[in-house]
Amino acid sequence: MAAFHNLIGGEWLAGIDTALNINPSDTADIIGQYARGDAAAVDAAVQAARTAFPGWAGASPQVRHDVLEGAAARILARKDELGRLLSREEGKTLAEGIGEVMRAGQIFRFFAGEALRLTGDAVQSVRPGVEVLVEREPLGVVGLITPWNFPIAIPVWKAAPALAYGNCVILKPADLTPGCAWEIASILKDAGCPDGVFNLVMGRGSTVGARMVEHPGIDAISFTGSVATGRRIGVQCMEAGKKVQMEMGGKNPMVVLDDADLDVAVGACVNGAFFSTGQRCTASSRLIVTDGIHDAFLDRLNAATAALRVGDALDPATQIGPVVDQGQLDQNLRYVALAREEGCEVRGGETLDGPGYFQRPAIFAGATNSMRSSREEIFGPCASVIRVADYDAALATANDTEFGLSAGICTTSLKHASHFRRHAQAGMVMVNLPTAGVDYHVPFGGRKGSSHGPREQGSHAREFYTHVKTSYVAP
């Protein structure tokens, strides 16, 4: 079986242990054996990164551009093969896997350009004879901790800006999906990234992740994952004086108004709720539907959902791949049972026979917004359908959540679309589009319990990955 090691200071090193990377579509298919590091591996990576930092921070932006552009070209040239790996290890369909790989390549390309565009300001001082310069500097060594559900896009959307702006990186991917992260490390090395500038330490959050958060040689942590882990990490980083950015969960509302185009609404809800097996932080897990269209919408939603083909992620006919592992499947099934106990009429949600973790998408009809199944993030193919009287009730219900990542509305009314866009308490708003599915060159992130710190992606990413320095000069 192929063995994959950590990348520390430019060398491939074994860990203290290994993890089997298992295909959730077919648990007999083992992708490889991946190293698990420990606290000592993090210490070694920090030392390598600190040694490499002055050279990388001081390098010409052309050097940084060329490494990132090299990574972009390599990823895009291998999109089919890497997309297949992604679908094998995470379980999203092959089309979704290839799409995510392309996005990773495009992100590297975008930040290759950003490396050349890092500008500052020269400002006139209020004091005669003084010049004021506002410039950006890299933070130093940045620790990246990532989840399993976007195993190539999320590591890349953190690593690319970190590197573009002159930081050195230590990446700890999810223990469940190390395959794509290993490929990123290998591709960056091949693209000429100097030793120690990008380090990969695979392993468990409780050992590798915890050491990264506490290590005094790491200047900042960018985390994506669950609220529980994120909040704990956030507190520790504050105490240690580290800069921290956290992207966490969602319980994203999709409002469907009486005047919506039914085809558009059903299409957006099926995509937003169930594609990628509902394992997206931006998934539409609360479908909030006004009275006049509710019954027709529910009939169409039930029919469209029942027609979805669930199966092996690599089968081109599959529309919904497997759940990522047994633990997540058990959690989904607990919520299906809970929704029933809470009084919902549940359609779907049952497991399917097969060599993987297959589950039919579930609709919780007759839900209210106060039910636990409507308030807690499930992170599976489950959506509550909540009936409301009118637009005002829909908006209030949409905002009645601890989360604030993405919010959508399906309507043909410009008035309601504009009002919702302004008043939805979310970082991203979608009109007649699924709540999930975003561009790679504009800011991504939420508010309330979903996010903390500056936005990721697009040129806004520099807010996290750089310090601002204001200099006063009397020539």
Contacts of residue 103, defined as CB under 8 A and 6 or more positions apart, other chains included, come to: 153, 440
- Please identify which of the residues 193, 281, 344, 410 carries the catalytic annotation: 281
Q: Is 24 in the site for ligand NAP (CB under 6 A)?
A: no
φ/ψ of residue 139, rounded to 5:
-80, -35
- Closest contact distance (angstroms) between CB of 124 and ligand NAP is 40
Could you say which residues in the range 218-237 bind ligand NAP, by CB under 6 A?
Answer: 224-226, 229, 233
69 vs 64: CA distance, rounded Å:
9
| Binding characters for ligand NAP, 436-475, by CB under 6 A (x = yes) | --------------x-------------------------
- Name the residue among 306, 371, 359, 363 with its Cα closest to residue 333: 359
Q: Which of 248, 254, 320, 395 binds ligand NAP (CB under 6 A)?
A: 248
Considering the rule CB under 6 A, would residue 405 count as an interface residue with ligand NAP?
A: yes
**Binding to ligand NAP, residues 349-378 (CB under 6 A):** 377
At closest approach, how far in Å is the CB of 445 from ligand NAP? 7
Tell me if residue 237 is catalytic.
no
Handedness of CA 174, 108, 432, 87 (dihedral sign): negative
281 contacts ligand NAP (rule: CB under 6 A) = yes
Binding residues with ligand NAP: total (CB under 6 A): 29
Which span (237-245, 247-255, 289-297, 309-317) binds ligand NAP, by CB under 6 A? 247-255
Binding piece for ligand NAP, criterion CB under 6 A, among 53-61, 187-195, 205-213, 363-371: 205-213
Strands of the sheet containing 3-4, edge to edge, are: 3-4, 30-36, 17-22
DSSP state, 426? S
Closer CB to ligand NAP, 283 or 365, in the complex: 283
Closest approach of Cβ 130 to ligand NAP, in Å?
42
The strands making up 121-124's β-sheet, listed across from edge to edge, are 121-124, 131-138, 466-473
209 part of the interface to ligand NAP, by CB under 6 A: yes
Q: How far is the CB of 143 from ligand NAP (least distance, A)?
A: 9
Q: How many residues does the chain have?
A: 475
Is residue 354 helix, strand or coil? coil
Chosen residue from 206, 326, 412, 418 binding ligand NAP by CB under 6 A? 206
Pick the closer one to ligand NAP by CB: 166 or 449: 449
Report in angstroms how near the CB of residue 174 gets to ligand NAP at its nearest.
4
Q: 400 vs 80, 421, 464, CA distance in Å? A: 41, 16, 29
Q: What is the DSSP string of 158-216?
A: HHHHHHHTT-EEEEE--TT--HHHHHHHHHHHHTTPPTTTEEE--S-IIIIIHHHHH-T
Q: Does 45 bind ligand NAP (CB under 6 A)?
A: no
Instruction: Please give the residues from 124 up to 163 whose contact with ligand NAP meets the rule CB under 6 A.
Output: 145-150
Active site residue 180: no
Q: Which is nearer to ligand NAP, 85 or 221 (CB)?
A: 221
User: Per CB under 6 A, does 174 bind ligand NAP?
Assistant: yes
What kind and span of H or E run contains 88? Answer: helix 79-90
Contacting residue, 138, 196, 250, 434, with ligand NAP by CB under 6 A: 250
Burial of 255 (0-12, 13-18, 19+ CB in 10 A): buried
Asked whether position 379 contacts ligand NAP by CB under 6 A, the answer is yes
Strands 131-138 and 466-473: antiparallel
SS3 9: coil
The stretch near ligand NAP (CB under 6 A) out of 36-44, 77-85, 125-133, 203-211 is: 203-211
| Contact criterion met (CB below 8 Å) for 152 and 100 | yes
Residue in 89, 100, 247, 342 binding ligand NAP, rule: CB under 6 A: 247
Bridge pairing between strands 168-172 and 198-200: parallel
163 contacts 156 by C-beta, under 8 angstroms: no
Query: Which one of the listed residues 89, 96, 114, 247 is annotated catalytic?
Result: 247
- Closest distance between ligand NAP and the C-beta of residue 378, in Å? 10
213 touches ligand NAP (CB under 6 A): yes
Does residue 309 contact residue 354 with C-beta atoms inside 8 Å?
A: no
Q: Are 349 and 360 in contact (CB under 8 A)?
A: yes
What is the closest distance, in whole angstroms, from the C-beta atom of residue 225 to ligand NAP in the complex? 3
Q: Are 44 and 6 in contact (CB under 8 A)?
A: no
Catalytic sites, residue numbers: 247, 281
- Contacts with ligand NAP by CB under 6 A lie at 145-150, 172, 174-175, 204-206, 209-210, 213, 224-226, 229, 233, 247-250, 281, 377, 379, 405, 450
